[in-house]
Structure 1
């Protein structure tokens, strides 16, 4: 939720932020109107309650017809107070709904525009020239079959489209990636977490995932629970309704969890392989810090993501995501996109977002500082999303015979294995 003082005192700033995202500014006027209606409803209720209290003091002192008139007024006033209270509750709900519909204000440095208006900040490494090496690269589906690492057919048979089994060295590769990611996070001072994948509605709403992303969320029918699409959700709610010691910030967590996404709107996109799936495992970095340090912490999260991709010896680029492609909660987001040889393009592997105070205001999380309590900020960053990382490793480090060279940093977590060898032609 945005700072309502900004909405009231600087509505044009909010309108400009909406325009930067390519969104209508009608929500700003709706929220301001709802705020005025809420204030009127509060004033009306307090006026009726004030009269009710005054009558309560007058009645014991009155006699005869005066007392009877006061008693009659009391009965009528009770109904008016009840109606005013109901109107106040309705106005408060309308105000809250209007404010919750407004996305976080895009960062001044975030590019304006939509999905294709990102800015490339950096390109790291050079994609392999397979033609110069004398062979045509295989895609990860064929490599996964040859290595006995990915079974798409049985995944579809058991669970449907966009599901898979990781088998043999495929499963071994995922576990190695989890261990490498957790090792790096631990060495950087993160607290390791195994997070739940089922959360209550407040956690989803508090992180902004029941807004524009609601269609991509799985809800458990008959239960007041949702399957998370990222451990950002349980980690944001981890300290909900708490006041944190300001001297303890930043609090950094590295959380592992399965993630579930409907992939709504992706019909016909990436239908082959494990680029876009309904379930995958992920290690997510999540940070609570002061708002003043949030931009610097955002850069630190990006640096940790780059460090991990460097360990995997991948060619990648870093982009500054355009405002129109930001999630509801983010003020700015950086994506690291790895080169996928058989697609001839860069694909998102990790991302990191600065959500400033948007989530903590919704989840009632504050910090206690010498000058008093104050809002704090949250940030998140993917350290390793398993399926896409496996795709990038297999395709980047493949050899002409279908074997795959294991990146040096992964070998200790693969039992010393340096090459994945084909089981099938």
Structure 2
């Protein structure tokens, strides 16, 4: 959420940002409401001071009681008008997108994302390459039909060595992050409306949310929601910053509007699993920790031996809460191209203003900045399957995961 004071003082910059992000706004109307609000606030404050002064004189001057009564009526009317105007301002501001970093590229969709670098060697094969769905069925480690039977389309089972590989990956990634200073959490898998609003998922991604009927709760789409919400209304000790948190959770998204996209297998589903990185930091440090989270993501993929490229996400593919976002797209041999596996967003003070998360350091008191970055999801598992497949369907396990898996490959039955 953008501070109304910032909007007032940087009106042309805010207007240009809204135009670039495709957000229609009557900025002149908003600034008029803001001016009216400040004027009414001053008038109300003056009336309160006068009422308090006269109240002290009532014992000596009974006629002052009538004046106090009149002032209360006028003050009540002013306060009602002020509340209505402030609500109108609030309803506009909570829907405004965050400001953009200067180097966010133009573009209407993900085709406008700008490649920053490629890493790793794309594998070559002298046999017909299988995708992860075919491999999963051949190896008996991924069962989509029974996921559909039990829960509907967009759900699936990891089983046997597939489930063991998944657990090994998620544990290994969390251990990497803990070694790099992150605190590990196990969080709720539901969150209240205020938490979803505060993290920016409402109203901007309302169509992606599974709500629980009759409850002020929804299934989380990411542990970002519960980890950032953990500090709602807190004043953090500036000396303790940054706070770096990680959690592994199932995540639930409706994927509304995703039909027709390349979604064979489990690349785009209603339930998936994710290890998240969350950072709370001082405003002047958010660029640094945004880059730190990206370095963590790259380290993980490099250790797994998965080729990838990093893209600077364009304005049309950047969600409203984001200031700047990096995506990493891994190479999927069965798909024959790069596909997104992580997203890493600097949200500046957008979430902390909505959730009232501040820090205090000496005389400084301000809103923290937050970073939300994927560490790993099931998509990395299927990238492992597709990139490390052998001609008979065997999948070779990355070396870093072998001690946790207890095996170095998954082969078809009888192999």
TM-score (norm 1): 0.91
Rounded Cα–Cα distance in structure 1 between residues aligned with 2:31 and 2:140: 59
Q: 1:331 aligns with which of 323, 334, 342?
A: 323
What SS does structure 1 have at the residue aligned with 2:33?
helix
1:209 is aligned to 201
User: In structure 2, what is the equivalent of residue 119 of structure 1?
Assistant: 114
What's the counterpart of residue 233 of structure 1? 225
- In structure 1, which of residues 74, 98, 101 is the aligned counterpart of residue 95 of structure 2? 101
Q: Deviations over 1:6-38 (max 9, x none)?
A: 2111111112222332433x2533432331232
Which whole-Å deviations, capped at 9, do the CAs of 1:338-373 have from their partners, x for residues lacking one? 111232221100111111111112211222212322
SS for the counterpart of 1:136 is coil
1:33-182, aligned counterparts within 5 Å?
33-50=32-49, 52-53=51-52, 56=55, 60-61=59-60, 67=63, 71=66, 78-115=72-109, 116-130=111-125, 133=126, 135-182=127-174
The one of 270, 294, 301 equivalent to 1:302 is: 294
Alignment correspondent of 1:353:
345
Matches of 2:316 and 2:357 in 1, distance apart? 27
The residue number in structure 1 matching 2:8 is: 8
Question: 2-side partners of 1:228 and 1:33: how far apart?
Answer: 38
5+ residue gaps, structure 2: none
Distance 2:151 2:262 in 1: 18
Query: What CA distance in whole angstroms lies between the structure 2 residues aligned with 1:49 and 1:291?
Result: 37
Tell me the residue number matched to 1:267: 259
User: Quick one: distance in 2 between partners of 1:402 and 1:254?
Assistant: 34
Q: CA RMSD in A?
A: 2.1
8 Å contact kept, 1:366–1:376: yes
**2:283 corresponds to which of 276, 280, 291:** 291
Deviation at 1:264, TM superposition (A): 1.2
SS at match of 1:172: helix
Q: Match of 2:330, SS?
A: strand
Aligned position for 2:273: 281
Which structure 1 residue ranges, 5 or more long, are not aligned? none
Q: Match of 1:414? A: 405
SS at match of 1:266: coil
SS at match of 1:211: helix
Say if 1:145 and 1:424, in contact at 8 Å, map to a contact too.
no
* Counterparts of 2:151 and 2:191, CA distance in 1: 23
- Displacement of 1:80: 3.7
Find the residue that maps to 2:93 and give its secondary structure: helix
Residue 76 of structure 1 deviates from its aligned partner by 5.6
Normalization by structure 2: what TM-score? 0.93
Q: Please give the per-residue CA displacement for 1:381-411, whole angstroms capped at 9, x wherever unaligned.
A: 111112x112111111111111111111111
Question: Residue 394 and residue 5 in structure 1: after superposition, are their counterparts in 2 closer, same or farther (change >3 A)?
Answer: same
Given that 1:397 and 1:405 are in contact with CA atoms closer than 8 Å, whether structure 2 keeps it comes out as yes
TM-superposed CA distance for 1:237, in Å, is 1.4
In structure 2, the CA distance between the partners of 1:80 and 1:256, relative to structure 1 (3 Å rule), is same
Residue 303 of structure 1 aligns to a residue whose secondary structure is helix
What is the SS of the residue equivalent to 1:411?
Answer: helix
CA distance in 2 between partners of 1:29 and 1:324 (Å) = 25
CA drift at 1:300 = 1.1
Check whether the contact 1:20–1:106 (CA below 8 A) recurs between aligned residues: no
CA distance in 1, matches of 2:57, 2:278: 59
Aligned length, in residue pairs: 414
Partner-residue secondary structure (3-state), 2:274:
strand
Q: How far off is 1:136 after superposition?
A: 0.9
Q: Quote how far apart the aligned CAs of 1:294 are.
A: 1.1
Distance between the aligned counterparts of 1:247 and 1:211, measured in 2? Answer: 33
SS at 1:121 equivalent = strand
| Counterpart Cα distance in 2 of 1:424 and 1:4 | 67
Cα distance between partner residues in 2 of 1:30 and 1:281: 44
- Relative to structure 1, the CA distance from residue 39 to residue 173 in structure 2 (aligned partners, 3 Å threshold; closer, same or farther) is same
> 2:254 & 2:27 partners in 1: Cα distance?
30
Cα displacement (A) at 1:195: 1.6
